[in-house]
Amino acid sequence: MVEKFDYWQDHSEQFLVMANLWDRRMATANAAGVGRKTGDCGDTITMYLSVKEGIIERLTFILDGCTNTNACSNAVAVLVEGKPLEQGWELTPAAVIDFLETLPEDHHHCAELAVGTLYLALADCTKGAAAEQRAEPT
Q: List domains and CATH numbers for the chain.
A: 11-127 (3.90.1010.10)
Residue type for position 86: E
Considering the chain, what percentage of its residues have pLDDT values greater than 70? 91
> What per-residue confidence (pLDDT) applies to 138?
46
> What per-residue confidence (pLDDT) applies to 3?
78
Distance CA 109, CA 72 (A): 10
> What per-residue confidence (pLDDT) applies to 127?
87
Record the pTM: 0.91
> What per-residue confidence (pLDDT) applies to 4?
87
> What per-residue confidence (pLDDT) applies to 50?
97
Check residues 134 and 72 and name the one with the higher pLDDT: 72
Distance CA 68, CA 111 (A): 8
Cα–Cα distances in angstroms (integers) from residue 113 to residues 5, 46, 94, 96, in the given order: 25, 11, 12, 11
Q: Answer yes or no: is pLDDT of 1 > 80.
A: no
- Any alpha helices (H) in the chain, and if so which ranges? 7-10, 13-19, 67-80, 85-88, 93-100, 108-135
Mean pLDDT of 105-126: 97
State pLDDT tens for residues 20-63: 999 999 999 999 999 999 999 999 999 999 999 999 999 999 99
Considering the chain, what percentage of its residues have pLDDT values greater than 90? 85
